[in-house]
């Protein structure tokens, strides 16, 4: 008889020893090799055998965790011997995040090692048999093939997607900005101070102006995202209904023409529109000047009027409608073809007009099928940086805003704070707020859609 608890305890201390106790030598040696590799990486990568040990000179994992906790303690200094190297807070933070991620993966392997030793001993007591390492490997490959194939992609996601996101999130809880730039300065953990600053919680100098800027930009972002989602949807649906009408000839030709605004690269269209709506030299204003409908000395500043912020905002929305409706037109055309013709024939027999068929059959069914895509489109438009940046760069200037213009949405404001002002901490804090808003609204709306309920 085997003792499952003993096998698990042995593997918890020395990886693989429980498997060897269970007479699975190859498996036990494999787990033991993983443990020895980790210990070797830590010991050989650090200066553990010097007389004056410091945590910054430890191996990758220990120094990484120390650096993430402290963000460094030693500044670079100019001495008679030259510049003494100091701690780089950002690099220490990155190393710490990587170390924690790897240690979490190692912890999962360790848990699997302990659980396997316990379960194998328990199975032996029940069946009197122990799978050989070769047979165990073969069974694992057959039963968990899909998960094994997902491991490389999962690791790539962890280190190239999750890690940068984690880094961007934790920066929101530091004072990393223009005045605290490593390696000249060390950054520090400040807790929720950045969020308190944005929402003017407490006695914070300049907080009211930040809150005013944030509130106005947030309201405009919501308006921009909602209108940029709903209007192109109905424009595309309206166009799809027209093109699907029996009386329309050359449908493929019309579809090909109308899909061009969406097929063209968005940046090219946006830069072209920026020139077309140029207040002084754009062809739009020139045409109205030539026909006498506009005073040459007071042209309409479609994208840069500081007196009326809703003029450039409205212009941006209209351009967004033009660029966005072809996608919905193509999608609605496909969705409408999936609706059974028998439904329409039954409605005609009951005396329903074409308008009644649209409102009672087409529209409800199309909205039900397109609801998840509407949620995704809202999330995209909430962060539609390109349309704002390439048309107005956030302008015109608003003297009552901090580092933001009249047409800035949250994501373009974050870009300005990061690239121009180097306020990485505040930009990161706002990114978290955007994620919470978008994630909550998207999850709530998506959970209410018929498609989601059918999945369950």
Q: How far is Cα of residue 221 from the mean position of the Cα atoms in its chain? A: 17
Peptide bond into 183 cis (omega under 30): yes
Angle at 312 between CA 308 and CA 315, to 5 degrees: 130
Could you give the percent of the chain with pLDDT greater than 90? 46
The closest of 182, 190, 191, 184 to 89, measured between CA atoms, is 182
Secondary structure element (H or E) that encloses residue 54, with its range? none
Kindly report which listed range (344-358, 366-380, 437-451) carries the lowest average pLDDT score.
Answer: 437-451
No. of H helices and E strands in the chain?
22, 2
Let me know how long the chain is: 456
Residue 63 has pLDDT above 70, yes or no: yes
Give me the pLDDT at residue 241, please: 87
Residue 271 has pLDDT above 80, yes or no: yes
Residue 352 has pLDDT above 90, yes or no: no
The predicted model gives 34-48 an average pLDDT of 90
Please state the pTM of the whole predicted model: 0.83
pLDDT in tens, 193-251: 888 888 876 555 556 788 889 899 999 999 999 999 999 999 999 998 888 877 888 88
Secondary structure element (H or E) that encloses residue 366, with its range? helix 363-382
The predicted model gives 43-57 an average pLDDT of 79
Residue 36 has pLDDT above 60, yes or no: yes
- DSSP letter string over 278-336? -TTT-HHHHHHHHTTSS-TTS---TTT-SS-THHHHHHHHHHHHHHHHHHHHHHHHHHH
Count the neighbouring beta carbons within 10 Å of the beta carbon of residue 198: 19
The closest of 332, 342, 330 to 366, measured between CA atoms, is 332
Count the neighbouring beta carbons within 10 Å of the beta carbon of residue 240: 24
Dihedral sign computed on CA atoms, order 430, 434, 439, 445: positive
pLDDT in tens, 83-142: 667 889 999 999 999 999 999 999 999 999 999 999 999 988 888 888 787 888 888 888
Task: Yes or no: say if 198 and 429 are a contact pair by the CB < 8 Å rule.
Answer: yes
Q: Is 304 exposed, middle or buried (0-12, 13-18, 19+ CB in 10 A)?
A: buried
CA-CA distance, 30 to 16, in Å (whole number)?
A: 7
Kindly report which listed range (7-11, 136-140, 397-401) carries the lowest average pLDDT score.
Answer: 136-140
Residue 296 has pLDDT above 90, yes or no: no
Kindly report which listed range (138-147, 216-225, 269-278) carries the lowest average pLDDT score.
Answer: 138-147
Kindly report which listed range (29-38, 150-159, 201-210) carries the lowest average pLDDT score.
Answer: 201-210
Q: Is 260 exposed, middle or buried (0-12, 13-18, 19+ CB in 10 A)?
A: exposed
Give me the pLDDT at residue 453, please: 61
Could you give the percent of the chain with pLDDT greater than 70? 94
Give me the pLDDT at residue 455, please: 54
Query: Tokens 């042209």 — which residue?
Result: 299
273 vs 438, residue with greater confidence:
273
Give me the pLDDT at residue 81, please: 66
- Which region, left, alpha or beta, applies to residue 23 given φ > 0 means left and ψ of -120 to 50 means alpha? left
Angle at 397 between CA 392 and CA 401, to 5 degrees: 120
């Amino acid at each position: 008889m085997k003792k499952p608890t003993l096998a698990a305890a042995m593997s918890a201390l020395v990886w693989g020893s429980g498997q060897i106790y269970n007479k699975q030598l190859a498996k036990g040696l494999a787990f033991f090799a993983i443990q020895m590799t980790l210990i070797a990486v830590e010991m050989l990568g650090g200066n553990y055998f010097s007389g004056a040990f410091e945590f910054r000179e430890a191996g990758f994992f220990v120094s990484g965790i120390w650096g993430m906790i402290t963000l460094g303690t030693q500044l670079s200094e100019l001495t008679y011997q030259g510049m003494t190297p100091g701690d780089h807070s950002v690099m220490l933070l990155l190393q710490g995040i990587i170390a924690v991620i790897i240690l979490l993966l190692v912890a999962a392997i360790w848990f699997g090692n302990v659980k396997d030793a316990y379960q194998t001993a328990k199975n032996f007591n029940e069946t009197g048999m122990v799978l050989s390492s070769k047979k165990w490997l073969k069974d694992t490959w057959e039963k968990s093939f899909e998960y094994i194939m997902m491991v490389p992609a999962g690791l790539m996601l962890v280190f190239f997607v999750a890690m940068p996101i984690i880094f961007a999130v934790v920066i929101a809880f530091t004072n990393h900005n223009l005045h605290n730039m490593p390696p000249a300065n060390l950054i520090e953990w400040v807790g929720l101070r950045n969020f308190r600053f944005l929402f003017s919680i407490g006695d914070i100098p300049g907080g009211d102006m930040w809150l005013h800027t944030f509130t106005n930009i947030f309201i405009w972002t919501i308006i921009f995202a909602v209108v940029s989602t709903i209007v192109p949807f109905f424009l595309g649906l309206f166009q799809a209904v027209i093109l699907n009408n029996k009386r329309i000839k050359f449908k493929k030709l019309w579809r090909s023409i109308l899909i061009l605004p969406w097929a063209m690269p968005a940046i090219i269209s946006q830069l072209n529109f920026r020139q077309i709506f140029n207040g002084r030299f754009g062809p739009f204003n020139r045409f109205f000047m030539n026909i006498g409908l506009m005073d040459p000395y007071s042209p309409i500043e479609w994208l840069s009027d500081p007196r009326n912020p809703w003029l450039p905002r409205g212009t941006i929305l209209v351009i967004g409608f033009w660029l966005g409706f072809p996608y919905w037109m193509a999608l609605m055309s496909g969705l409408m073809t999936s609706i059974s013709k028998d439904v329409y024939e039954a409605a005609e027999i009951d005396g329903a007009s074409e308008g009644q068929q649209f409102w009672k059959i087409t529209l409800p069914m199309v909205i039900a099928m397109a609801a998840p895509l509407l949620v995704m489109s809202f999330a995209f438009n909430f962060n539609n940086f390109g349309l704002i940046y390439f048309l107005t760069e956030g302008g015109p200037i608003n003297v009552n805003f901090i580092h933001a213009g009249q047409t800035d949405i949250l994501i373009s404001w974050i870009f300005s704070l990061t690239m121009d002002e180097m306020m990485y901490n505040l930009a990161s804090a706002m990114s978290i707020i955007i994620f919470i808003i978008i994630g909550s609204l998207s999850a709530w709306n998506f959970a209410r859609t018929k498609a989601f309920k059918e999945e369950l």
